[in-house]
């Protein structure tokens, strides 16, 4: 009991001393934190995608073979006060029901987009980071994960082009073990009217 009281007293003394001697620093820290947590222009850009969309995709298991065609639906919404962009996708893949969820953020401090993706075709999480190119209206994201078929590291490159307010095209490329990059997916999103 005595030790707990002494520890609490030392903590209070430390924080009170800090508060008295670093008011300017605390104000600067609070300002920096407010700038970090406040949604900005890049968050508004993500918010433009809110709504329900249909999807039609082409997937290549082998770049030399014909693509498999998939169809589905996707919904986008901003969460946690407009700070994060959440997506939910449902569709079909090789005769099976496919379901995936994504979360995209724009980190005000790092000045980059960060994305994570999970789906029912695996147990891992795909993570990518990147920038938005306003000239082409394209998100350019890159990342790495393990290819479950080979056990080797796989480089991922993903683009999401905003064609217009009602159309987007996502394209994904993979490179396994340093091999040349190949296109593995192209998906067109159409906003539901």
User: How confident is the model at residue 65, as a pLDDT?
Assistant: 86
The CATH number corresponding to 41-191 among 1.10.260.30, 2.40.128.20, 3.40.190.10, 3.30.70.3000 equals 2.40.128.20
Q: Which of 73-82, 96-105, 148-157 has the lowest mean pLDDT?
A: 148-157
Is the pLDDT score of 16 beyond 60?
A: no
Q: Which of 26-30, 56-60, 112-116, 119-123 has the lowest mean pLDDT?
A: 26-30
3-class DSSP state for residue 8? helix
Q: Is residue 152 a contact partner of residue 177, using CB atoms and an 8 Å limit?
A: yes
Q: How many angstroms separate the Cα of 176 from the Cα of each of 15, 23, 65, 88? A: 52, 53, 18, 27
Task: Return d(Cα 52, Cα 73) in angstroms, integer.
Answer: 7
pTM of the predicted structure, to 2 decimals: 0.83
Task: Return d(Cα 83, Cα 103) in angstroms, integer.
Answer: 10
User: How confident is the model at residue 18, as a pLDDT?
Assistant: 52
Task: Return d(Cα 94, Cα 128) in angstroms, integer.
Answer: 25
Is the pLDDT score of 174 beyond 90?
A: yes
Q: How many angstroms separate the Cα of 173 from the Cα of each of 3, 141, 179, 184, 186? A: 59, 10, 12, 5, 9
Task: Return d(Cα 53, Cα 170) in angstroms, integer.
Answer: 13
User: How confident is the model at residue 82, as a pLDDT?
Assistant: 97
């Amino acid at each position: 009991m005595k030790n707990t009281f002494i520890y609490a007293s030392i903590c209070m003394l430390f924080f009170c001393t800090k508060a008295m001697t670093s008011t300017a620093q605390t104000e600067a820290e609070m300002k920096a934190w407010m700038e970090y947590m406040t949604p900005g222009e890049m968050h508004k850009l993500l918010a433009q995608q809110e709504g329900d969309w249909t999807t039609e995709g082409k997937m290549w298991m082998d770049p030399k073979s014909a693509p498999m065609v998939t169809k589905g639906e996707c919904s986008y919404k901003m969460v946690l006060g407009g700070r994060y962009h959440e997506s939910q996708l449902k569709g079909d893949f090789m005769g099976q029901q496919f379901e995936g969820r994504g979360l995209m953020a724009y980190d005000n401090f790092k000045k980059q987009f960060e994305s994570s993706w999970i789906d029912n075709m695996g147990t891992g999480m795909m993570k990518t980071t990147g920038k938005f190119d306003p000239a082409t209206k394209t998100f350019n994201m890159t990342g790495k994960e393990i290819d479950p078929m080979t056990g080797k590291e796989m480089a991922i490159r993903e683009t999401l082009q905003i064609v217009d307010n009602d159309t987007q095209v996502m394209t994904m490329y993979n490179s396994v073990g340093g091999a040349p990059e190949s296109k593995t997916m192209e998906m067109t999103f159409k906003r539901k009217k």
